[in-house]
Structure 1
Amino acid sequence: MVQERAARTRSLRGTEPHFSDLSEPPGVSPDVSSALAWLAVPGRRAKLLAVLGVALLAAAAVGALAAPAEPRLAVDDDRPRNNTLVALQGYEHEGKVVEVTPDGEVVWEYAKADDVFDVEALGDGRVQVAVADEIPDGKCPDRFRNDGHENCVRNSLRIVDRETKETLWEYAWFDAKLHAHELHDADRYTVDGEPRWVLVDMGNDRVFAVNRSKEVLWQWNATDRYERPEKMGPEGDWTHMNDVDRVGRDTFRVSLRNFDTVVDLHVERGASGGNGSVRVDPVVGPDDFHERGDVLHEQHNPDTLDNGTLLVADSEHDRVVELNREGDVVWKYGGSAIFDWPRDADRLANGHTLVADSYNDRVVEVDEDGEVVWSVETGGLPYEADRLPGEGSDGPTAREAGIPNRTSDAGVVRERAAWAVSMAKYVGPDRLAEQLFLLAAGLLALVGAGVERWRSRKR
């Protein structure tokens, strides 16, 4: 009886129609049915995926080649009167400085460094540039050749001749590696008519000043006040000091990015060697190594306006903010739907705000009504932008100029997609990285074609 039932079951199974034998499956239109039947033939799916993959890759290539040249003027509703000096960090050893006219034309370029961060026009045909160059281990000082890190970095503050681009004066030092060990900022000032420079040494977590003879006049080490985390080695990215400005005769304002903190260093006259003669006053932030501060998150380039208000590129919050003397946010502009990791903001004399919108690869100018009225797509990961001749952040506060708050955040998918494109620029050409999703889809289609061919051969 059991054998008879099994034979009957096998017989019934043998008479069941295959999907490919159906001229029109129930609930499916004839056109769809024909397409499914066509795809059911071995090898055809592979061919279709291969054609699709090639088409997507071709579209990505065309998109990259057709992208307009950069820098280029993107918004031109209220053209500025003067040129703008822009420091382009570069994604992969492509740092440079460009000076762009109000119509977006490059009239001067300095491209003699791997990474460029701070730039300042000094007048008299001189430009000050803070740069970092990655050096092969074989050309590094002995102490950095076999230190467990690939290559080393040479940081330098240069004053270059605008016409010849030759270095007129330089202060430089080596460090263990490029990442988180670069020179991000320096500020030139004078004492009794003599020039001095204060610099942030990110790799060694210190601030120090030198004179024209390159003598260290004073220095302050973060270890004088803070405890390094036990599990973080000496080359770990601890403070990530990225900005210093002289805000008083003997007072220097410093951005400790990874502390989400800004502090003031009060230096006694004649102090040297970081021997306890530097007093630290927190301006805003938790005043310690933090994952995320309550107000700022991995900020860049805090500038002090005339009344003491602090204008800050609050980078990881994708916004620009103003903070009062108590450290409260009194104005904010941006959000991930507007900015993507801004790292510099200057309030101009006319009440406009000039912003280096880094991961959007552009410099924008926002007017007193909160509208973007001028924008240049620069490419190259802009770090800092200065309106010539050296306007800085001498403009009014948002309250004085009546600038409204404006923030808007993008959805999670859009944020993640923008982040992926930005990361791709570190490993490939910028224009090609902007076609990331077409490239990914094309490669996936080609991989699928290969899998289908393999499966068809196995049948």
Structure 2
Amino acid sequence: MISTLSSWLSLSDNRAKLFAALTVVLFATAGVGALTAPDGPHLTVDQQRPANNTYIALQGYQHEGRAIEVNPAGKIVWQYTKADDVFDIEALGPNRVQIATAEEIPDENCPAKYRNDGYENCVRDSLRIVEKSTKKTLWNYSWYDAKLQHHELHDADHYVVDGEDRWVMVDMGNNRVFAVNRDKQIVWQWNATDTYEFPDGMDKEGDWTHVNDVDRIRPGVFRISLRNFDTVADLHVQGNGSVTVTPVVGPNSYSKSGKILYEQHNPDTLANDTLLVADSEHDRVVEIRNNTTTWTYGGSGMFDWPRDADRLSNGHTLITDSYNDRVVEIDQNGKVVWAIKTGSLPYEADRVPGEGSNGPTASQLGIPNRTEGTSVVNERVDWGVAMAKYVLPNDLAQQLVTMLFGLLALVGAVIERLR
């Protein structure tokens, strides 16, 4: 029988027929799996439920971004859907939340500057203060930019100076960080071109700094993440609005690769001036002090492009595992005790009320290092699944790409056997 099958497969037409038949089965099976997949966020690990709810910002793959609040059982108890992409959500009180959003706008509705600029559509970035009970926008600060991709508002931080509310924001498309007051007046601004040389030959709308995070760590000092520099730096803002830059970790250069971080997101400052950072392209979370990595957790066998990590008051760590479409919580033993599958590309998560800065370090808590790698094949599958989600429903993309790689491996093995 094996000899007969080998003879039949030796003919290219028969191999093509087999491949076509398996492809039909592949799509049919994936479709059934997508239809039977759980609808909406759901817990995948439920060993130790948190005491409070969790805010999750869902960027979305296909304009399905939203902000959600889930209870310890993983059920949505509140959501905000009035945006294409959501990157940041923070509690400002029991009935107010701050949400960083981006919306793609048709060219005909864009300001004249962006209607015929060579890019399809434009983006409206908006920081919104939303009343939870009514979902009414109480205050917002918005601006337009050339396009959606790499031109979004990824983060903002609220602070107070002499009793006056202020918000500092990162403007990725214009490579700047700036602060406004409640009257929407810019009180200080730093442009990356004030400190760094714009790369020769790069399009003016090219993805240069990709500044994606800002936190006020003390009066006059704002810590930022220059993702494409593999660098975390401090902006020192003087009373007259002048700004100087001090690198904290990284090469502080667009043209050089970082030795510690690789396109990081959301650095938080813990005790002893230790950084807790989602080291995204390394698929891990790290702590760094004095340019030395002091704690590592993750790896491509555990995470796929994590973009946020918060150290909670109980010593646990809340991690947003973006391309795995989930948020996980690990305890002081490094064990996952709570995890929720969210779908829709989560960007960051905050435990209610807001936590995550000036907490204890992993060394103080005794959290062990843990890293797990995976095979190149699995990494390719994960990458394929992530890219497919930008054009296919999440669950269908997961099953389709996984089975497709399995099918290709099977066909390759058969062909190799016949040689």
TM-score band w.r.t. shorter chain: over 0.9
Secondary structure, counterpart of 1:231 in structure 2: coil
Question: Post-superposition shift, 1:438?
Answer: 6.2
Instruction: Give 5+ residue unaligned stretches, structure 1.
Output: 1-30, 272-276, 445-459
Q: TM-score, normalised by structure 2?
A: 0.93
Alignment equivalent of 1:240, drawn from 196, 207, 210: 210
Contact 2:316 2:331 (8 Å CA) reproduced: yes
What residue number does 1:190 align with?
A: 160
Comparing 208-217 with 282-291, which one deviates more in the overlay? 282-291
What residue number does 2:414 align with?
A: none
Instruction: Give 5+ residue unaligned stretches, structure 2.
Output: 409-419
Is 1:217 aligned with 2:182? Answer: no
Q: In 1, distance between residues paired with 2:245 and 2:358?
A: 25
Alignment equivalent of 2:285, drawn from 308, 311, 320: 320
Note the alpha carbon deviations across 1:333-392, whole angstroms, 9 max, x for none. Answer: 111001111000000111110000001100000111111111001111110100111122
Q: In 2, distance between residues paired with 1:314 and 1:48?
A: 43
Note the alpha carbon deviations across 1:272-306, whole angstroms, 9 max, x for none. Answer: xxxxx211111111111045301111000000013
Secondary structure, counterpart of 1:156 in structure 2: strand
Contact 1:116 1:131 (8 Å CA) reproduced: yes
* Change beyond 3 A, Cα 1:139–1:443: farther
Alignment equivalent of 1:428, drawn from 383, 392, 405: 392
What residue number does 2:39 align with?
A: 69
| Amino acid paired to 1:174 | Y
| Amino acid paired to 1:300 | H
Is 1:396 aligned with 2:360? Answer: yes
Q: TM-score, normalised by structure 1?
A: 0.85
| Amino acid paired to 1:390 | G
| Amino acid paired to 1:279 | T
Contact 1:53 1:442 (8 Å CA) reproduced: no
Alignment equivalent of 2:149, drawn from 164, 179, 187: 179
| Amino acid paired to 2:213 | D
What residue number does 2:342 align with?
A: 378
Is 1:278 aligned with 2:239? Answer: no
Contact 2:98 2:128 (8 Å CA) reproduced: yes
Secondary structure, counterpart of 2:271 in structure 1: coil
* Change beyond 3 A, Cα 1:183–1:37: closer
Alignment equivalent of 2:254, drawn from 273, 289, 295: 289
Note the alpha carbon deviations across 1:374-429, whole angstroms, 9 max, x for none. Answer: 10011111101001111223421101100111111111111111001000001111
Alignment equivalent of 1:305, drawn from 270, 294, 300: 270
Contact 2:265 2:280 (8 Å CA) reproduced: yes
Is 1:201 aligned with 2:171? Answer: yes
* Change beyond 3 A, Cα 1:56–1:126: same
Q: In 1, distance between residues paired with 2:216 and 2:180?
A: 14
Question: Post-superposition shift, 1:37?
Answer: 7.2
* Change beyond 3 A, Cα 1:148–1:38: closer
The residue correspondences of 1:26-105 to structure 2 (distance < 5 A) are 31-35=1-5, 51-105=21-75
Contact 1:55 1:442 (8 Å CA) reproduced: no
Q: In 2, distance between residues paired with 1:42 and 1:316?
A: 41
Note the alpha carbon deviations across 1:70-101, whole angstroms, 9 max, x for none. Answer: 31000011111111100000011110011111
What residue number does 1:147 align with?
A: 117
Contact 1:334 1:406 (8 Å CA) reproduced: yes
Q: In 2, distance between residues paired with 1:268 and 1:35?
A: 78
What residue number does 1:406 align with?
A: 370
Question: Post-superposition shift, 1:194?
Answer: 1.2
User: More strand by proportion, 1 or 2?
Assistant: 2
The residue correspondences of 1:1-16 to structure 2 (distance < 5 A) are none
Q: In 1, distance between residues paired with 2:221 and 2:108?
A: 40
Q: In 2, distance between residues paired with 1:286 and 1:384?
A: 25
- What is the percent sequence identity of the aligned residues? 65
Contact 2:384 2:401 (8 Å CA) reproduced: no
Q: In 2, distance between residues paired with 1:164 and 1:66?
A: 34
Contact 1:87 1:97 (8 Å CA) reproduced: yes
Secondary structure, counterpart of 2:378 in structure 1: helix
Question: Post-superposition shift, 1:122?
Answer: 0.7
Taking only aligned residues, the RMSD between alpha carbons, in angstroms, comes to: 2.0
Q: In 2, distance between residues paired with 1:45 and 1:334?
A: 41
* Change beyond 3 A, Cα 1:52–1:284: closer
Alignment equivalent of 1:437, drawn from 401, 405, 411: 401
Contact 2:388 2:401 (8 Å CA) reproduced: no
Aligned length: 408
Is 1:360 aligned with 2:330? Answer: no
